[in-house]
Structure 1
Amino acid sequence: MSEAPVGRRERKKAATRQAIADAALRLFLRHGYDRVGIRDVAEAADVSTTTVFKHFSGKEALVFDEDRDREAALVAAVRDRTDGQGVLDALRRHVLDVFLPVASDPRAGEFSDLVNSSPDLRAYAERMWTRHTDSLAEAIADEVGADRDDPACRALARFVLDVPTLVRDRRDRREAVEAIFDLLDRGWAER
């Protein structure tokens, strides 16, 4: 089945959203998150403040403009895995294929510095990941035939979502990701 073509209106909305996000990030990186207001972002993107709020729920959301896409990709990693591939292996592959390239981007350090420079952004990032816990845990539960509020599914989702934070400052991120997933796969053994 082929997807319906995206209409001009949807393309224009997506382009406007991207222009706003790009302008916001440029301003935040140049002047600091706390020194830039929504009006500044709207002016830089050549839109009204009303338009900014049509596309983003608030100032913090401007920094994390790919939040919905990341959540959908996490759920898809579980639901669309190949035949015979376990949930944990699918999540490991997703983290290795998606997170590692993002973390290796030369701009990643600058973005991390931006987030860490503001208590509001750090708190928003934590809430954002917590929101993903629910949808990822439900997808895991559905796939393994567990109740949607199963604590083991919630724990696995939360552990997976914490991987980027746990390995962010590691010299060899791939090795660190593999070690965490090995722990999730085999359990803790006294060293």
Structure 2
Amino acid sequence: MTEPPLGRRERKKAATRQSIADAALHLFLERGYDAVSIRDIAEAADVSVTTVFKHFTGKEALVFDREASTDAHLVAAVRRRDAGQSVLDALRQHVLDTWLPIAADPQMEGFNRLVDSTPALRAYSERMWIRHADTLSAAIADELGVERGNLACAVLARFVLDVPGLAQGRRDRRAAVEEVFDILADGWQAPGKPTA
């Protein structure tokens, strides 16, 4: 199912939003999160402070500018999967298609340092993660016809959302993602000892 094309007005709003988010990230990486004000971001993006707040709820939302669509994409990965494709395989494909390009972005290392070194951003990220886990768990439960809050659905949602963190920093991120999903699919096995 394809999304209808955006109209001119929507494209302009999306471009303004992206320009603001890009300016914010550039300033945060350059100066540090706490040293940048909303006014600084507005000036860098050549918009008013009011315009910044029309697009974002606050400074944290500027760092996680794509967060708003994450829930919708997770739910779509479950509900719009190909006929005969398992929920687990659909989520595997979703992580491969969405996270690998993000992880390859040259700014990703700086972004991760920014989040890890800023208590407000770490807390915001944790709240986002919980919200996404709850949304994904509910979508999986609905799709499988079981009660929301089902432990197996909650466990799968949490592990799927942890895959990027587990694969980050690995030499071959794609292989790491595949290995984590293989463990989820086949169950954990004790790793063999390396032979001398």
Q: TM-score, normalised by structure 2?
A: 0.89
Within 5 Å, give how 1:138-177 maps onto structure 2: 138-177=138-177
Match of 1:14, SS state, is helix
CA RMSD of aligned residues (A): 1.8
How many Å separate the matches in 2 of 1:39 and 1:29?
16
How many Å separate the matches in 2 of 1:80 and 1:111?
31
Aligned pair in 2 of structure 1 residues 38, 81: CA closer, same or farther (>3 Å)? Answer: same
Corresponding residue for 2:97?
97
Amino acid aligned to 1:180:
V
How many Å separate the matches in 2 of 1:99 and 1:23?
22
Amino acid aligned to 2:32:
G
1:177 Cα deviation after fit: 1.3
How many Å separate the matches in 2 of 1:6 and 1:90?
26
1:28 Cα deviation after fit: 0.9
1:59 Cα deviation after fit: 0.3
Q: Once the two structures are superposed, what CA deviation does each residue of 1:123-149 show, in whole Å capped at 9, x if it has no partner?
A: 211211111112111111111111122
What is the aligned residue count? 191
Corresponding residue for 2:13?
13
How many Å separate the matches in 1 of 2:25 and 2:4?
31
Q: Once the two structures are superposed, what CA deviation does each residue of 1:69-123 show, in whole Å capped at 9, x if it has no partner?
A: 2222221111111111000011111111211121122222122122222121122
1:4 Cα deviation after fit: 5.2
1:10 Cα deviation after fit: 2.2
Matched-pair identity in % = 66
Unmatched 5+ stretches in structure 2: 192-196
Match of 1:149, SS state, is coil
Corresponding residue for 1:133?
133
Unmatched 5+ stretches in structure 1: none
Corresponding residue for 2:194?
none
1:53 Cα deviation after fit: 1.4
1:47 Cα deviation after fit: 1.9
Amino acid aligned to 2:159:
F
Residue 157 (structure 2) pairs with residue 121 (structure 1): no
